[in-house]
Amino acid sequence: MQLLKDKILSDGRLLDGYVLKVDNFLNHQLDVALLDAMGAEFARRFAGVKVDKILTVEASGIAVAVMAARHFGNVPVVFAKKTESLTLDQDAYESDVYSFTKQKTYRVRVSRRYLAPGENVLVLDDFLANGHAACGLIDIVHQAQAEVVGVGIVIEKGFQSGRKLIEEAGVTRVESLAILSSIADGKIAFA
Ligand code: 5GP
C-alpha cells in the first residue's frame, strides 16, 4: 500500500537498528485518515472472505481493527486483554505470548462470551515480527473452536519469521499492507 509506505519513509524512525517506531501515526498518535484507508485496503484484500468478527490485541491493534471493521459491514471487534482484571470474566481463553519488543512473556485473554464455535474470525494487528502475538490470537480462536479466515497486518518485518509461524499454525491467508525487507544501517527497504 503506497500511501502507508510513503508514511513509513517520511515519519518512521529506527530504534536500535531492529525496531521501527511509528508513534506519530500508528502506535501513539493516530492518523485517522490513514487508518481508514488501511481499513478499506484490508476489506479489498479480503473481499469474498466471510468475516463475522475481527480479533486483535490491545493496545495498538484496536484502532486498526475498529477502522477496518467499518469496511467489513461493522462486524464486532474483540481485543485480547494483556492484564488480568476483575472486570474480565474469569472464564476466558488464554494464551502466552513472547513479546519481541518487550523481551518478556505475557498472557493474552479473551472472554469466552465473545468468541463462539464456528465463527469466522479475521485476526488483525499492527506489526508482524516473529509471529508470537498473531499466533497467540490464532491459538485463542482455535480454543474457541472458531475459524481463522485470515491474518491482516499493517507492517510486516519480512526478514523475521512471523509469516512462517502463522502458516505453520494452519493459516494460509496472510495480508500485510507494507512488508519491510530490511531496516539495516538506518535504512528502510520494502519487499
Ligand atoms: P511478534 O509477536 O510478531 O514478534 O511481534 C509483534 C508485536 O510486537 C506487535 O504487536 C508489535 O506491538 C510489536 N513489534 C514488533 N516489532 C515491532 C517494531 O519494529 N516496531 C513496533 N512499533 N512494534 C513492534
Cβ 79 under 6 angstroms from ligand 1: no
Pairing mode of beta strands 174-182, 92-99 = unpaired
Residue with cell 494487528: 125
- Whether the CB-CB separation of 150 and 176 falls below 8 Å is answered with no
Our measurement of the distance from residue 145's CA atom to the centroid of its chain's CA atoms, rounded to an integer in Å, reads: 20
Place 89 in a pLDDT band, splitting at 50, 70 and 90: low
pLDDT bucket at 171, cuts 50 / 70 / 90 = very high
Binding site membership of 93 for ligand 1 (Cβ less than 6 Å): no
Amino acid at position 144, single letter: A
**Integer CA distances (angstroms), 21 to 1, 16, 62, 78, in order:** 18, 10, 17, 25
What ranges in the chain are assigned the alpha helix state H? 2-11, 32-45, 60-69, 132-143, 162-168
Average pLDDT over residues 114-120: 98
Q: What is the chain's mean pLDDT, rounded?
A: 95
pTM of the model: 0.97
What's the CA gap between 69 and 12, in Å, rounded?
25
CA distance 190 to 178: 7
The answer on pLDDT for 66 being more than 70 is yes
Tell me how far the alpha carbon of residue 156 lies from the centroid of ligand 1, in angstroms: 9
Average pLDDT value for residue range 155-176: 97
pLDDT at residue 88, rounded to an integer: 64
Q: Report the range of poorest mean pLDDT among 59-63, 87-91, 92-96.
A: 87-91
Percent of the chain residues past pLDDT 70, beyond the cut: 98
The mean pLDDT of 148-167, rounded to a whole number, is 98
Q: How far is the CA of 20 from the centre of ligand 1 (A)?
A: 9
| Cα 87 to chain centroid, rounded | 24
